[in-house]
Amino acid sequence: MRERTHIETSVASTRKLERELDDAVTLAELADEEKDEGALEDARRMIAELLTRAKQIELESLLSGEADPNDCYLEIHAGQGGTEAQDWAEMMARMYTRWAERKGYKVQYIEESAGEGAGIKSVTFLISGLNAYGWMKTESGVHRLVRISPFDSNARRHTSFSSVWVYPVVDDTIEIEIDEKDCRIDTYRSSGAGGQHVNKTDSAVRITHIPTNIVVQCQNERSQHQNRAKCWEMLRSRLYERELERREAILAKQEAAKTEIGWGHQIRSYVLQPYQMVKDLRTEVETSDTQGVLDGDLDRFMAASLAARIKTAADAVNQ
């Protein structure tokens, strides 16, 4: 039913676009015949708005993967750079939260580890909304920031790194078998503000899947039972995302590899000093509107990465 609803919505959007384009063209023709500059300008404005919507529909047509319609988990980890990197990780959390809000998605924090001096060491949150994983899946990788450090009294330029990992929420139609003997379950006391109960008991849960060394943790729920259930859900999603990666690697004849969070491995560079530039190193898409990007304007990068990924997969199939 969800797939049917999605298809019906897509078809309805395209047909509505076609009808409104016909109306705009008819208006333009009548205005041209009657030399009505006001009506002609209205027609131009309507067509410009329709072009913007058509581009959005074209982007959404790229979201055709098996798990693309699903919600997703987003993990951010501070890398090389100490306090600088932890501050950068917090900036990235804000950036993706702003992006999700622009899309009308819901953001729920699952786990957060505060930095020692500022920022965060890591954070995990759930992004809920149609095609959340489809949009976010190309954001996995290392992100580099270059700026004048607000923590350096000598105002020197610093380079910081943080990594992003995105994986889909697995719904009930996807079966993932996990042998509990392959998992180690640890409990610990939650950190943060909490409430009367949260910080007084070992309610936080961490599950390690020994064969894959995948670690998930949750401390956001009110009880250990709820945190444990959320961890199992996240582990299923991580294992499913691992399987999707394996399939893509075979299709594209390349093996996905987890890399160090540092030099030589970044997918996108955010330069605030000595000039303003955000550049995706995979697609060469760039912009000087650094503040807009940090406020969540990420669609141009996501769309280019999606198009490049689909082209790579199609080339691999043709070969």
State pLDDT tens for residues 197-226.
Answer: 445 567 889 999 999 999 999 988 878 899
Q: In this model, does residue 196 exceed pLDDT 70?
A: no
Short-list 95, 74, 90, CA closest to 296 = 95
Contacts of 129 (CB under 8 A, 6+ apart): 71, 100, 103, 104, 105, 106
Q: In this model, does residue 257 exceed pLDDT 70?
A: no
Extents of the domains making up the chain: 2-60, 74-319
Exposure on the CB side of residue 264, measured as CA atoms within 13 A = 3
8 Å CB contact between 73 and 167: yes
Using a pLDDT cut of 90, give the percent of the chain over it: 45
**SS3 state at 99:** helix
Q: Which residue would you say has higher pLDDT here, 55 or 301?
A: 301
Kindly report the CATH class assigned to 74-319: alpha beta
**pLDDT at residue number 258:** 39
**SS3 state at 4:** helix
**pLDDT at residue number 200:** 53
**pLDDT at residue number 319:** 58
Q: In this model, does residue 311 exceed pLDDT 50?
A: yes
- Helices 224-251 and 299-318, interaxial angle, to 10°? 50
8 Å CB contact between 69 and 6: yes
**pLDDT at residue number 264:** 55
**Omega before 274 cis (within 30°)?**
yes
Contacts of 276 (CB under 8 A, 6+ apart): 288, 289, 290
Average pLDDT, the chain: 84
Lowest-confidence segment of 1-5, 174-178, 254-258, 287-291 by average pLDDT: 254-258
DSSP 138: G
**SS3 state at 171:** coil
Which tokens in the block code for residue 122? Answer: 């890591």
Q: Which residue would you say has higher pLDDT here, 155 or 242?
A: 242
Sheet containing strand 141-148, strands side by side: 106-114, 120-128, 72-78, 157-168, 141-148, 266-271, 277-280, 286-287
**SS3 state at 125:** strand
Lowest-confidence segment of 96-100, 171-175, 178-182, 252-256 by average pLDDT: 252-256
- If you average pLDDT over residues 24-46, what whole number do you get? 90
Q: In this model, does residue 37 exceed pLDDT 60?
A: yes
Short-list 142, 190, 146, 178, CA closest to 162 = 142
